[in-house]
Amino acid sequence: MKTTVIAVTSAIAVAILMLAGGRIIRSREGPGLDLRAYDYRDTQRIVNLTARAAALVEKEGAKAFAAFRENADEWTLGDHSYLYVYGRDGVNLFHGGYPSFVNRNLIDFTDPLGRKVMRLIIDQLDRHREANPHGWVHYLWVPPGSLDGAWKASCNFPATLPDGRAVIVGSGLEGALPEREFYRIVVDEAADLLAAKGRAALDEIRDPRGPFSLHDRGVFVLESSGGALIDPGLNLSEPRNFFDYRDFSGRQPLRELEAKLDDANGAWVIMLSPEAAGKKPVKKGIYARRATMDGAKVIVGAICPLPRPAWM
């Protein structure tokens, strides 16, 4: 029993250090790019790659496409990451992974969840640049020859060709590791939507075709009393009260979160939760914001996995 307690305490201490310290990986690559929000090297690399590609497209226009093709080692991150360029009308101008897409209009391309990916990308770039500076969109992608879909994270930048045409330059990671920053983005966007639309926003936040769920997790919304307006895990007719919830260590993470939000616009807490019956508990993060919905205060949040230190 003592060993279990020590292990749980150590896990909590490690997670607190990670959340309080900001990020495991701190890096600044490329002019004007701040990548400190990301825990994983591949995520940092894909942002840097896309930003460099957007800069080259703005400088050289369609000539950049030849450079992308001829110097694949410089402009990809392996077999599952490649560049693409789309016009704002959804017509593909360049595709490093599927050249057959060129000149096709994919504005209504839909993933297995019903997400219209290009429309989501345009929406993120046009309306959410403050919350989502790197234009992230998440969707299920089923590569040719595969039966199963996997989550893909695409990073997108707006660019303007030398002839004045507005385009979108992007790249994606198949099977991307879930970043805390991804969950921060969707929670902040959901808080903004609740402030703008009130209770009518709840159905939009629940919708699996929209941007508010990723990696099988969605945004939750709690009343100031702790009652669920959107439950983190279940769709119940009788709402649960989450201030009473205790995790594996006996702590009440949602009550802790509410207390932190008295002094901050956004806050993180950790919890310990078994992944499956009989399994050891793992640490997860909860990020939340206070928001105003039709004049009432609510808590908007999401549960996400936390990065594991290399020694674990």
Q: Residue 30 domain-assigned?
A: no
Examine the domain organization and report whether 19 and 48 are in the same domain: no
Among residues 174, 193, 221, the one where a domain terminates is: 174
Residue 237, pLDDT score: 65
Q: Residue 265 domain-assigned?
A: yes
Q: Residue 312 domain-assigned?
A: no
Among residues 156, 174, 192, the one where a domain terminates is: 174
Examine the domain organization and report whether 239 and 280 are in the same domain: yes
Residue 310, pLDDT score: 53
Residue 240, pLDDT score: 84
Annotate the chain with three-state secondary structure. Answer: CHHHHHHHHHHHHHHHHHHHHCCCCCCCCCCCCCCCCCCCHHHHHHHHHHHHHHHHHHHHCCHHHHHHHHCHHHHCCCCCCCEEEEECCCEEEEECCCHHHCCCECCCCECCCCCEHHHHHHHHHHHCCCCCCCCCEEEEECCCCCCCCEEEEEEEEEEECCCCCEEEEEEEEECCCCCHHHHHHHHHHHHHHHHHHHHHHHHHHHCCCCCCEECCEECEEEECCCEEEECCCCCCCCCCEHHHCCCCCCCCHHHHHHHHCCCCCEEEEEEEEECCCCCCEEEEEEEEEEEEECCEEEEEEEEEECCCCCCC
Examine the domain organization and report whether 168 and 190 are in the same domain: no
Examine the domain organization and report whether 92 and 131 are in the same domain: yes
Query: What's the CATH number where 103 sits?
Result: 3.30.450.20
Closest CA to 299 of 251, 272, 267: 267
Domain count, the chain: 2
Residue 233, pLDDT score: 77
Q: Residue 36 domain-assigned?
A: no
Examine the domain organization and report whether 53 and 77 are in the same domain: yes
Q: Residue 29 domain-assigned?
A: no
Q: Domain of 110? A: 41-174
The tens place of each residue's pLDDT in the chain, 312 residues long, gives: 444 444 444 444 444 444 543 333 333 344 568 899 999 999 999 999 999 999 999 999 999 999 999 998 899 987 778 999 999 999 999 999 999 999 999 999 999 999 999 999 999 999 999 999 999 999 998 877 788 888 999 999 999 999 999 999 999 988 888 999 999 999 999 999 999 999 999 999 999 899 998 888 899 999 999 999 999 877 666 778 899 999 999 999 999 999 999 888 899 999 998 876 677 889 999 999 999 999 999 999 999 999 876 544
Query: Cα separation of 298 and 286, whole Å?
Result: 15
Examine the domain organization and report whether 74 and 146 are in the same domain: yes
Residue 145, pLDDT score: 76
Q: How many CA atoms lie within 13 A of 286 on its CB side?
A: 24
Closest CA to 183 of 293, 16, 19, 68: 19
